[in-house]
Every structure is written in C-alpha cells, then in structure tokens.
Amino acid sequence: MPDKLEEPLNIKKKDQHFIWHPFTQMKEWEQEPPTIIVKGDGVTLTDIEGKHYLDGTSSLWVNIHGHRHPHIDQALLAQINQISHSTLLGLANLPSITLAEKLLQIAPTSESPPEKLAKVFYSDNGSTAVEVALKIAFGFWQYQGKNERRKKLFISFENAYHGDTIGSVSLGGIDLFHQTYGPLLFETIKVPAPTCYRCPIGLQYPSCNMACIDEVEKTMQAHQHQCAGLIIEPLIQAAAGMLTAPPGYLKKIRALCTRYNILMIADEVATGFGRTGKMFACEHEGVVPDLMALSKGITGGYLPLAATLTTQRIYDAYLGEYAEFKTFFHGHSYTGNPLGCAAAIANLEVFEKEETLKNLQAKIQFVKETIDPWKHWTHVGEIRQAGFMIAIELVSDKRTKQPYALEKRMGGLVCQEAKERGLILRPLGNVVVLMPPLSIEMADLETMVSIVGDAIKKVTA
Ligand SMILES: *Cc1c(COP(=O)(O)O)cnc(C)c1O
C-alpha cells in the first residue's frame, strides 16, 4: 500500500518519473495519469481512487481462481513461515518436489504409443521456460551420434510468440519484434501458421483438407537432418491475435515430428492451466509433446514461476560421467523458488476442490452462444475462441477483411470504452481480447461480455 500521506496524484507522477513500462510508448504514458491498482478481490480490481474494475485480462493471462483466493493466500503464508527462498543448485526443497510430482501427474499422456513427460526443470517466466526447452532440445542432439549432431535448427510458425529473450524472440514470428533486433537473432525455419481467416495459401477450411500442413511437412522432410525441434503454441497462437488452428492440426504436427525425428516443443505458457477448457491444450488432441513450457497460470497468477517438462529419453541423454560435461549448464537464482511452488501447489489444489474445469464448461458455452451473433456486426471480421481465450477481430471492411490501419488503434479505443464502463481489457492490435479468470461467477461474466459488446458497438459505429 502507498504511504497514506502521499497524494494519489503525486504517486502517479512518480510512476511516470521512475518507471519504464513494458510494451509501452513512454512518451504517451507520460501524458496521461496512470491507473494505479491497489487491491484485488475475486475478479475485481480496485484503483487508488477506490474505483472498481472487472479484470477482463486475468491480469494479463495469469490469474486463474481470482485475486486473494483464501486457499492460495494461506498456502503462501504457511510457506513464508517455513522459508521463502532456498536454491535448487546443490540443495532441494519441499514445495518444488511436491509440485513436480503433481505437474507430471496432470501432464498430457498417451497410452498407445505409451508416452509421458517425466522430468520438471524450473525457471521463472514464460520466456525462460521456452529458452530452457530450446537449449535442452539442442543439447539432446549434441549428445547423440555424429550424424545427429548436425541437428541444430528449429522450425517455428509465422506470427508465433514465445517470449522476449533473444532465443524466444528468434523462435517467434511477429515482424514488429524482429524489426529492431533482427541482427541479434539466430536463424530459424519459418512455416505458415494454420490461420484460416486469412489463409496463408488462399484456401478455405475444411475443403482445403489442411493443405497448409503439407508446407510444414515439406520443410520437415527437406531439413530433417538439420532440425533439432519444432515449437508450436498448441490450438491457438495467443499474442498473434488469438489465431486458432483447425481441429486435428496439432495431432498431425505431432505425427510429423515423430516421423521426421524432430523434437516437438509445446509452448503452453498461455494455454496451460485450464485456459482452453482442459488443463493443457495438448489434451484436446491426445498429444504428448517432447518438451512442454509452462508459466503464466502456473501459480494462479500469484508469483513468477515457470517449468519446462520433458521425457525420460531426453533427460537420459544428459546422463554421463562428470568429466563428459553433458551436464545441463543452465539455472536461475530463483529456480524452484519455494514460495512460487507453494502457490502453484495451492493453485492445483483449488482446481480439484472447486472443480474448476467442470464448472468452466458452462461459462465457455455461455460466451460462445452470446457472442456468436456478433459475427454479423458490420465491423466484426471474425470471432475466435479456444475455451476461455476469446477474441473478436475488428475489420474496416468485412467483405475484403481489410484490417483497420493500426494507427487508428481500434482495439485500444474499445478497451478505453470498456474501462469507462468498469472493465479492464488489453487489445492485440485490432483484436479485442477477453480472458477472464476461470473462477468468474456467471453474473460477472454476463457483465463483462455485455460491456465488450457495448464498447465494440460504440467504437465501430
Ligand atoms: C506470455 C507468453 C510467453 C512469455 O512469457 P513471459 O512470462 O511473459 O516471459 C511465451 N509463450 C507464450 C505462448 C506466451 O503467451
């Protein structure tokens, strides 16, 4: 809490004076007094003036069971009374062990062929979870025979977003982020994403028979001896604008990775922990990746924590005598942080206790049915939804799918309107995104959806 004696206005000035905000043009930020959030409760946020807002972004895709959930709060307090941090370098700690076991229990598995994830490597954010997957996959091939050592390249998708560190930006496919930093990035092989609304090969789903995947297969075939891995955001490319893939696509990618001996990395940083209606997006298609990156929802939106899960086979490749130096030389100061792990354990316990996933299904259906008619609105190009990841793409011309010029900031204007009506949203360009905490009550969900609709109508009128 801020010092009670300090004027809100003063604090706002200090924010503008001292803080460099992420993904923010600070020249603009300095012109408008910021909204300072001081409290949260359930799906409601309260600002420094006492104004309430609904949290329509799950505090940027991380919150699951609402703010100040008593069970997670209690678990954190209990852990603070034991120890807040101890290292995993040379020592172990209890919460990280309990959490690892739980994560592996709920991770996607398959019976035939029998496959499962068997090891957990901790870090502290989505970008590092991806970096770790990338390095583990790369090293895996380096510890095989001479031929496999040529496998050094990664295949990734156009429009993909995997985080902001140099490795994860290299894997990403958002041009804007590559403009300035291109020279720093390593080379990856980009393949077209299965984005049906603007099909990269100009076909129509389903008559296309998912022809876009042939491109991916051709690339895999051509580069199989140089390719270490393929990284994919399963079911939905989130930051790209919530671009959903057609059903069955993910499963086909899994089969191709197996056929061409390329490790499959599933980036479930956004989709993990129930966001798509199942615990992990891979479960929708019975897919078990070779590596899986988790973060965002892992602690229910409480603390920064991440995990990279992998298979016994990959782990085993790193085993050897000390002097062989096959050790995975990677780790962070806060790897396996006990507080973060305690929050994550409590997060999973709430999933069970409150039957979060079961109760979520009716809410997913409600949103689907309520916003479906909006597809007829003059400036709604497409509505996309994967569970509780909901997106409405606005276009200037519905027939030609002509996007609004980005400078018009239609998404931003909709969010401004929504904020005035008491709902916090954050757009992705011309795409209006709604991603409520999974715990939201039906009445609040109705309010959120109707505010989104009103804001879109107002701005596109
Ligand atoms: C957010 C996100 C990341 C990066 O996570 P950070 O914690 O912001 O570093 C990586 N991959 C996907 C799919 C994401 O949505």
User: What is the model's pLDDT at position 2?
Assistant: 53
Query: What's residue 313's pLDDT?
Result: 97
What is the pTM assigned to this prediction?
0.97
Give the pLDDT of residue 257.
98
For ligand 1, is residue 239 a contact (CB within 6 Å)? yes
Rounded to the nearest angstrom, the distance between the alpha carbon of 269 and the centre of ligand 1 is 5
* Cα gap 226→153, rounded to integer Å: 6
Helix (H, G, I), strand (E, B) or coil at 33: coil
List alpha helices for 260-302, DSSP H.
none
For residue 302, give every residue at least 6 positions away whose Cβ sits within 8 Å of its Cβ, in sequence order, or none: 72, 76, 340, 343, 347
pLDDT of residue 6: 65
The dihedral region occupied by 282, where left means phi > 0, alpha psi between -120 and 50, and beta the remainder, is: alpha
Q: Which two structure tokens, joined as six digits, stand for 294?
A: 């988790």
Counting as low any pLDDT under 70, the low residues of the chain are 1-6
Ligand 1 binding pocket includes 287 (Cβ within 6 Å)? no
Q: Which domains does the chain have, with CATH numbers?
A: 35-65+356-460 (3.90.1150.10), 78-353 (3.40.640.10)
CB 55 within 8 A of CB 424: yes
- In sequence order, the β-bridge partners of residue 54 are 44, 423
Strands 263-267 and 291-294: parallel
Tokens of 26: 């600070």
d(CA 156, CA 180): 20
- DSSP codes joined into one string, 201-249: TS--TTTTTTTHHHHHHHHHHHHTTTEEEEEE-SSEETTTT-EEPPTTH
pLDDT at residue 179 in the model? 85
Confidence at residue 337, expressed as pLDDT on a 0 to 100 scale: 98
> 219 CB contacts (<8 Å, ≥6 apart)?
155, 189, 191
Q: Tell how far CA 198 is from the center of its chain.
A: 22
Query: Would you state the pLDDT for residue 251?
Result: 97
Q: Is 57's C-beta closer than 6 angstroms to any atom of ligand 1?
A: no
* pLDDT tens digits, 50-70: 999 999 999 999 999 999 999
Q: What are phi and psi of 164, to 5 degrees?
A: -115, -5
What is the distance in A from the centroid of ligand 1 to the CA of 164?
8
Q: Which amino acid residue places its CA nearest to atom 5 of ligand 1?
A: 126
Whether the CB of 268 sits within 6 Å of ligand 1: no
Q: Measuring CA to CA, which residue among 174, 160, 232, 246 is closest to residue 203?
A: 246
